[in-house]
Amino acid sequence: MTERIVVKIGSSSLTSEEGGLSRDSIHFFASELASRHRLGDSVMLVTSGAVAAGFRRIGYASRPKAVHEKQAAAAVGQALLMQAYQEAFSEYGIVAAQILLTRADFSNRRRIQNALMTIEELLKQRIIPIINENDTVATDELVLKFGDNDNLSALVAAMTKASKLVIITDMDGLYTEDPRKNPQAVKIERVEQISEDILKLAGGAGSSVGTGGMRSKIEAARVAMRGGVGAFIGKVQSEGDLTRAVEGSGKGTYFDTKLHSLSMKKQWLGFHAAPQGKIMVDDGAVTALLIGGKSLLPAGVTSCEGDFHPGDVVEVLNRQNEVLGRGVVNYAAWQLQAAAGLGTDEVARRIEVPRIEVIHRDEWVTLK
């Protein structure tokens, strides 16, 4: 059975000890991806490594820290990275295509829909899309909200309705403790729900080359799972390891999902859109939203923050300040401040709004 898979490779897996691009690593991963391509899988690659590949070529002695220096290194390194991939894949008769994305692309529904259409056409033509953060125009620090492309890979997997997300790292999965410090640490083979306890098991970044740590990979797995995509986090270092990872016997931890893939609209709402404010709700509203599948009514609102307007995306939080989900709000902030805690009849008498629900259930995505 053929599958649609997204494979994410980080900087530390692609660079030499000196910090430059490792051609041997590129060729190894190209070989692993080509093996899945030959089996008929639709393969997408999300790769880091542009900054790591370029900083020595540009003349820096070590990985730069200033944003403009990182962006200059990425501008040089991205060309080197794609050249290496093109050469490696050509040995297997495979054409690769470059796609550069930013957070802003995902925030704009039309732009991300266009990106999806491009990826679909490339897959149809049996071309491997190679996707990376557009570092040279990113306005955030290159520690990046994408988290060394971990989050980017999850967003791509959910957007393209992939069957699996494979995040390659130098650790063979998630452990109860850092196995490099405690040999008695136990590996967690499978995770069905990512709780705060699971997140606490992950530390920070473990490499001077990359920017993502195990925590960003687990958070990416959570995004993928929420989009209906199962994830694998672990090692691919020997011939056949990628196939083993895809088929369920890989050297790592599997994150299972029983959720159905979200529509593009729901994905945009839940993961891509930039929230313009926050709405705090009482316990009754929490139950209605998370269990009852109901809309959010003014009576359940306790307060709000931000300068939002009808049609904006907002986050909804409980009394413990935990984010429950996101939705499209039907009230301006000043209107909701006046309507908070009131019954629908009273709100209808006092305030003119397009619809009485603060957030309609069709415009809502649960994230908790």
Domain residue ranges of the chain, discontinuous segments joined by +: 4-265, 275-366
pLDDT (tens digit per residue) in 53-79: 888 888 888 888 888 898 898 899 899
What is the per-residue pLDDT for 147? 55
* d(C-alpha 328, C-alpha 239), whole Å: 47
pLDDT (tens digit per residue) in 5-58: 999 998 889 888 777 788 999 999 999 999 999 999 999 999 988 888 888 888
Binding site members for ATP: 8, 169-170, 211-217
Query: Two tokens at 228?
Result: 């209906």
* d(C-alpha 44, C-alpha 131), whole Å: 8
Query: Is the domain defined by 4-265 classed in CATH 3.40.1160.10?
Result: yes
Binding site members for substrate: 48, 135, 149
Residue with token string 């209906």: 228
Query: Two tokens at 54?
Result: 């370029």
pLDDT at 89 exceeding the cut of 70: yes
What is the per-residue pLDDT for 68? 87
Report residue 144's pLDDT band, with 50, 70 and 90 as the boundaries: very low
Binding site members: 8, 48, 135, 149, 169-170, 211-217
Selected from 1.10.1660.10, 2.30.130.10, 3.40.50.150, 1.10.1500.10, the CATH number assigned to the domain covering 275-366 reads 2.30.130.10
